[in-house]
């Protein structure tokens, strides 16, 4: 069942250690089959070195495993919630990459301070509200999805324009049209978090980019008038 998707999800998971985005087993990638309303995700707590494509777990949009011998990632209900509510996304990534986590722990957005950011994220990457005691004590991972979704609604951010969030006190989730793009976005978020950290230490002057620079760089790479790369 979904053998090609399992292989693809396996390969996307294996990019995380290569891109220096995970330590130990602390990260996961999933990808969705929209027709079947199923997604494939990394098993929980399995070593990247020992993992095989067949270890990937197939889940439904309630986060229930429907195939596979292993437990799916403990973050599965978050992925399920996001696939259900962010209908345009094809893949999701969660990591504990250290620069992004530092902003998540500090409760500070990763601001758009330059073109590196604007090429990928159309505005600040938001930090979510902290989950409440009640949200944590019941259905924690599901509620993580709820809080992410609420953050984008309340702050009026289009989740395809800014395909990333920092869950407060936790770390980054990113997504995209495909799992491949979600992994790319996870790395870009880590890179701009590092750049922004150093920028904010160098100066206390506000240095967010103006809207017109954000427009220029974002639309140079996205949408119908994009002209970066090859046709």
How many residues touch a copy of itself under the rule CB under 8 A: the total is 61
CB-CB contact of 92 with 9 (8 Å): no
Burial 155-186 (b: 16+ CB within 10 A, else e): eebebeebbbbbbbebbbbbbbebbbbbbbbb
8 is catalytic: no
Residue 43 engages a copy of itself in binding (rule: CB under 8 A): yes
* 99-128: contacts with a copy of itself (CB under 8 A): 99, 101-108, 113-116
CA distance 73 to 228: 36
| Alpha helices (H) in 61-170, listed in sequence order | 76-85, 98-106, 115-118, 133-137, 140-154
* 150 is a contact residue toward a copy of itself (CB under 8 A): no
Identify whether 54 is a catalytic site residue: no
Strand runs labelled E in 142-216: 164-167, 171-176
Residue 149: how many CA atoms within 13 Å on its side-chain side?
Answer: 17
Candidate list 3, 24, 88, 161; residue touching a copy of itself; CB under 8 A: 24
Closer of 163 and 171 to a copy of itself (Cβ) = 171
- Please state the closest distance from residue 31 (CB atom) to a copy of itself, in A: 20
Q: Applying CB under 8 A, does 197 fall inside the site for a copy of itself?
A: yes
Catalytic residue (choose from 33, 55, 119, 129) = 119
Which chain residues interact with a copy of itself by CB under 8 A?
Answer: 23-26, 43-46, 70-71, 74, 96, 98-99, 101-108, 113-116, 130-131, 133, 136-137, 140, 169-171, 184, 187, 191, 194-203, 205, 207, 209-210, 212-213, 216, 220, 227-231
């Amino acid at each position: 069942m979904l053998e090609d998707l399992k292989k693809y999800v396996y390969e996307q998971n294996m990019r995380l250690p290569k891109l220096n985005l995970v330590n130990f087993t602390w990260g996961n990638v999933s990808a969705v089959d929209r027709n079947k309303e199923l997604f494939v995700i990394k098993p929980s707590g399995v070593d990247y070195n020992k993992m095989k494509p067949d270890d990937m777990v197939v889940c439904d949009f309630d986060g229930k495993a429907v195939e596979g011998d292993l437990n799916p990632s403990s973050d599965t209900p978050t992925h399920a919630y996001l696939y259900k509510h962010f209908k345009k996304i094809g893949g999701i990534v969660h990591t504990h990459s250290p620069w992004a986590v530092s902003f998540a722990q500090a409760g500070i957005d990763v601001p758009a301070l330059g073109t590196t950011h604007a090429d990928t994220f159309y505005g600040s990457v938001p930090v979510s509200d902290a989950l409440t005691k009640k949200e944590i004590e019941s259905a924690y991972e599901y509620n993580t999805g709820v809080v992410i979704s609420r953050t984008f609604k309340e702050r009026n951010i289009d989740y395809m324009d800014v395909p990333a969030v920092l869950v407060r006190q936790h770390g980054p989730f990113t997504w995209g049209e495909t799992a491949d793009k979600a992994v790319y976005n996870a790395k870009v978020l880590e890179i701009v978090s590092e750049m922004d950290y150093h920028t904010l230490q160098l100066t206390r002057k506000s240095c967010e980019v103006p809207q017109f620079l954000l427009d220029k760089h974002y639309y140079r790479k996205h949408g119908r008038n994009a002209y970066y790369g090859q046709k």
